[in-house]
Every structure is written in C-alpha cells, then in structure tokens.
Amino acid sequence: MTAVAGCAPAAETWTVPPAGAAPDYQLGAAYDADPRVGVIARDRTAPAATGAYSICYINGFQTQPGELASWPEHVLLRTPDGKIRFDPDWPDEALLDTSTASARTAIVDTVSGWIEGCARDGFDAVEFDNLDSYTRSDGALSLADNLAVATALVRVAHDAGLAAGQKNASEDAAALREQASFDFAVTEECSVFDECGTYTAVYGAHVIDIEYTDDLPRPFAEMCADDAAPASMVLRDRLLGAPGDPGYAFELCD
C-alpha cells in the first residue's frame, strides 16, 4: 500500500490463510470437511465453509463452463480468423481478452462483483485462476496484460477485506507477488512438477498444494516428506468429488 504524505498508511483488513493448516479443496462439491481441516476452498457459487478459513475460487481470466454467453463479445479473445479462442486443455473455457484497456475494464467490472459477493457470503479470501492464460494465447496476450488485471482484482479483494491468492502460474510467482500484491498461493501438483520451492521462495509458509490421485509418481507420504513440500498439502481425486462419490479421495500429510 502507498501512504499519502502526512497520513498514516491504511491498516490491512484481511487475514492470510493460517500457515501450515490442513487444507481441503472442494471445488467439485461442498461438504462437511474432516475435523482436522483448517482451510477450505470452494467455488464462488458455493456457500462459504464454517469453522475453517474459507477461500472463494474465481476463474478470473477464462470463462467458466456454461458461462460463455454471460460475457460481452468484445471481452472474448479471438483467433486471427475471428473464432473464439478456447483453452486447449479446457475446451469449454474461453480466454478473456486482457490486451486492451476497454476489455480489461470490463473484466474487472464483472469479476469485482464476484469478489464482493464472496465477501458478503463470508469467505476470508479469494483465489484467482488462469493467471497464465497469456501462455495459451499464441502471443495475443502478455504477462503485462494479465498483471494489469490481476493488480486491479487484488486491490478489489483487499478493499473488500479479503486476502488474495495466486492459483498456479509458478513461473510468474515473483512478479505476481511483487507487482500485483498477492498474499498467498494455491498450487496444483507442485510436487509432481517440482515447483513447490518456487512458490515457497515467494510466499514462505503461505502456500497450499493439492496433489491428485491419478498422477502420483510416488506415494503421497513421500511427497509430504520432501524438504520443499508446503506445510499445507492435500491429496484429492481429480474430479474433487464429495464423500460417497465414485473415486472420492482425501488424504492429509501426517
């Protein structure tokens, strides 16, 4: 925060996730968590968790499945032949165009409403996904474009009393922390991709990692024991289902 001459700097009104707390990642379904869990992430359309630090998931740089029509046409990134550009790994998610000031303003206006909704619903923080969408744009977007949007979104979150979390994008962690003022990181498979140290070097103990059962190169307990492993780590099923769902999995580090 920047202090105004002659005035004391404004006090932070948000709280970061408790360092080392056991996490659960409930984007696929909300349910009563294991009593050991101290941090729970849920989609912005789900209720905030009670009895634990609650993180609100927001897809801030791509459209959510089923929400394409809710975005203005000029905000959807296009290919040179005018087609909407979709994420190759998530073909029901279109990339948002962060390359122009008008599109960035429209994105921030829309997502700001979601952030403020998370605050009203009782969440403690937001996490912003697809910060690295520019890497899937064939050069149409840049890190600077996405940083401009991210900086504005973090400011909205902080103004609403919410901490702001970086989701994935390990290669940009330092820039996102230093320039956009993110408070913590949520990572997927940082152990599998040998990226955990990149996050902890930037965010220290405020890193939450989710590993998945369908892509384990070795036992989860061994991954937990790595020197670079974040203190907050959970093993989940890829679909992030609820207890009783086929394939449901949940395991914490000892």
pLDDT in tens, 57-89: 999 999 999 999 999 999 999 999 999 999 999
What count of other Cβ atoms lies within 10 Å of the Cβ of residue 202? 21
The predicted pLDDT at position 178 comes to: 98
Residues of the chain above pLDDT 90, percent: 95
Average pLDDT, the chain: 95
If one compares 36 and 254, the residue with the highest pLDDT of the two is 36
The predicted pLDDT at position 3 comes to: 33
Q: What is the pTM of this model?
A: 0.94
Domain holding 145, by residue range, is 22-252
The predicted pLDDT at position 42 comes to: 98
Using left for φ > 0, alpha for ψ between -120 and 50, and beta otherwise, residue 170 falls in alpha
Is the pLDDT score of 6 beyond 90?
no
Residues of the chain above pLDDT 70, percent: 96
Q: Is residue 10 part of a domain?
A: no
Q: Is residue 88 part of a domain?
A: yes
Residues 16-25: b if buried by 16+ CB within 10 A, e if exposed: bbbeebbbbb
Residues 6+ apart with CB under 8 A from 55: 17, 39, 40, 41, 42, 123, 124, 125, 126, 127, 165, 186
Taking Cα atoms as reference points, which of 204, 98, 216, 87 lies closest to residue 152? 98
pLDDT interval class at 10 (50, 70, 90): low
Q: Is residue 62 part of a domain?
A: yes
CATH code: domain of residue 44: 3.20.20.70
pLDDT tens across 122-168, in order? 999 999 999 999 999 999 999 999 999 999 999 999 999 999 999 99
Q: Is residue 9 part of a domain?
A: no
Segment 83-112 shows an average pLDDT of 97
Q: Is residue 233 part of a domain?
A: yes
Among 1-5, 18-22, 163-167, 201-205, whose mean pLDDT is lowest? 1-5
| Token reading at 101 | 């000031």
Q: Is residue 1 part of a domain?
A: no
What count of other Cβ atoms lies within 10 Å of the Cβ of residue 99? 17
Segment 27-40 shows an average pLDDT of 98
Which DSSP helix (H) or strand (E) runs through 108?
helix 101-120
The predicted pLDDT at position 20 comes to: 96
Residues 6+ apart with CB under 8 A from 173: 166, 185, 198, 199, 201, 202, 203
The predicted pLDDT at position 1 comes to: 34
In whole angstroms, what is the distance from residue 223 CA to residue 235 CA? 10
Q: Is residue 8 part of a domain?
A: no
The predicted pLDDT at position 181 comes to: 98
If one compares 7 and 200, the residue with the highest pLDDT of the two is 200
Is the pLDDT score of 4 beyond 60?
no
Torsion of CA 90, 93, 98, 100, to 10 degrees: 130
The predicted pLDDT at position 12 comes to: 83
Q: Is residue 115 part of a domain?
A: yes
Segment 20-24 shows an average pLDDT of 98
Segment 5-11 shows an average pLDDT of 46
Spatial contact of 249 and 235, defined as CB atoms under 8 Å apart: yes
Is the pLDDT score of 8 beyond 70?
no
Tell me the one-letter amino acid at 170: S
Question: What domain count does the chain have?
Answer: 1
The predicted pLDDT at position 152 comes to: 98
Is the pLDDT score of 9 beyond 70?
no
The predicted pLDDT at position 2 comes to: 33
